[in-house]
Amino acid sequence: MLRCPGVDNLNMIEIDHVTKRYGEKVAVDDLTFTVKPGIVTGFLGPNGAGKSTTMRVILGLDRPTAGSATVNGKPYSELPAPLHDVGALLEARAIHTGRSAYNHLVAMAQTHGIGRSRVQEVIELVGLSEVARKRAGGFSLGMGQRLGIAAAMLGDPATLILDEPANGLDPEGILWIRNLLKGLAAEGRTVFLSSHLMAEMAQTAEHLVVIGRGRLIADTTVAEIVAQASQNAAVIVRTPQAGELRDVLVGDGVTVKSAEREVLEVHGLTSAEVGAAAAAHQIVLHELIPQNASLEEAFMGLTGGAVEYHAGALDPQLVDSIPEAA
């Protein structure tokens, strides 16, 4: 797969202080990060965070107001055969509705002198053989996504950029995408994948780049975010000796709250530690429930202040409590 070994920025996407303004609106604000080769990197952020814009800048569709984006060390527009370097699936449709899937792929392939046998291959890869000669305008959302993936795979690229590939897919389609991505990653390809769903990311991504309101919030691994999330996890204990247990547990880095009689919410200890402490002091426990903070909650915690559009019905108190984006 490696075409020119020795070049250290191979299959790497580098975003260097990219800012993109549309008139007054700043879509991406001084964003810097690197998509590392050979792994799946998730690009996470609420709707309107600037994910699509960043991807459009990488793909040379939008010119950054400031900064630069490079693929394999070059701006996308200077790649001599971009479809062999990068395959991309944009969120918005990029197919003429009047053209058949087959002809669309042939026209794309011809720009790079890619043969029709490869067109046939990618059609089979995404399972569109039966409808390939039909007009793309009549395709369902799922079929459109499959066609987009087929186009991305045409040049057998080492790097894939996929904007919300699971968007609008039915469970079967999501499963298909997930398996496909796992396969692509297993082959050592670089995958840069955006989503606004943390759970979706946890399934596939190894590394995470999180943005909100166009700014970088986190550039970390999934494991780290999970660890962070579980740090704040609580243990719920039901005991008739709530007062005694509280006195036993409270200490350095441990907080205990009580939501109702005989129920304690313990932060800073694992359920095993709580159970051991109770046993040591002969305290009777009726329930001992670890509350794992979900990835979704971790994501909300990260991006809470950076959500572009809040639902109108949000509790005003809640909105006030969300810190402003840094």
Smallest distance, other proteins to C-beta of residue 56, A: 8
The answer for residues whose C-beta is within 8 angstroms of residue 159's C-beta and 6 or more apart is 11, 13, 37, 71, 72, 85, 86, 87, 189, 190, 191, 192
DSSP single-letter state for residue 301:
H
**Contact (Cβ atoms closer than 8 angstroms) between residue 99 and residue 136:** yes
Residue ranges that bind other proteins, judged by CB under 8 A = 1, 56, 59-63, 76-84, 88, 90, 92-100, 103-104, 106-108, 110-115, 118, 121, 125-131, 146, 151, 153, 155-156, 172, 175-176, 179-180, 182-184, 187
Residue 129 sits at φ, ψ, to 5 deg, of: -50, -40
- Closer to other proteins by CB, 35 or 217: give it: 35
CB-nearer residue toward other proteins: 78 or 296: 78
Q: Is residue 79 classed exposed, middle or buried when 0-12, 13-18 and 19+ CB atoms within 10 A define those classes? A: middle
Nearer to other proteins, 96 or 281 (CB): 96
Minimum CB distance to other proteins smaller for 179 or for 292:
179
In the complex, minimum distance from the CB of residue 203 to other proteins, in angstroms, rounded to a whole number:
15
Q: Nearest distance from residue 89's CB to other proteins, in Å?
A: 10
Which residues are within 8 A (CB) of 75 and not within 5 positions of it... i.e. 6 or more apart?
60, 68, 69
Pick between residue 139 and residue 299 the one whose CB is nearest to other proteins: 139
**Min separation Cβ 97 and other proteins, Å:** 5
CB of 142 to other proteins, least distance (A): 9
Determine the 3-state secondary structure of 223 from DSSP.
Answer: helix
Tell which phi-psi region holds residue 48, choosing left (phi > 0), alpha (psi between -120 and 50) or beta.
left
The number of beta carbons lying within 10 Å of the beta carbon of residue 230 is 14
We find the least distance from the C-beta atom of residue 201 to other proteins, in angstroms, to be 19
Among left, alpha and beta (phi > 0; psi -120 to 50; other), residue 38 is: left
For the record, the structure tokens of 137 come out as: 């305008």
**Rounded Cα gap, residues 105 and 108, in angstroms:** 5
Handedness of CA 302, 305, 311, 317 (dihedral sign): positive
Q: In what order do the strands lie in the sheet with 207-212?
A: 86-89, 159-163, 190-195, 40-44, 207-212, 215-221
Cβ distance to other proteins smaller for residue 22 or 292: 22
Least distance from C-beta 47 to other proteins, angstroms? 19
User: Residue 17 Cβ, how far from other proteins at the closest point, in Å?
Assistant: 19
For other proteins, the closer of residues 169 and 234 by Cβ is 169
Q: Given the complex with other proteins, which of 180 and 306 has the nearer CB atom? A: 180
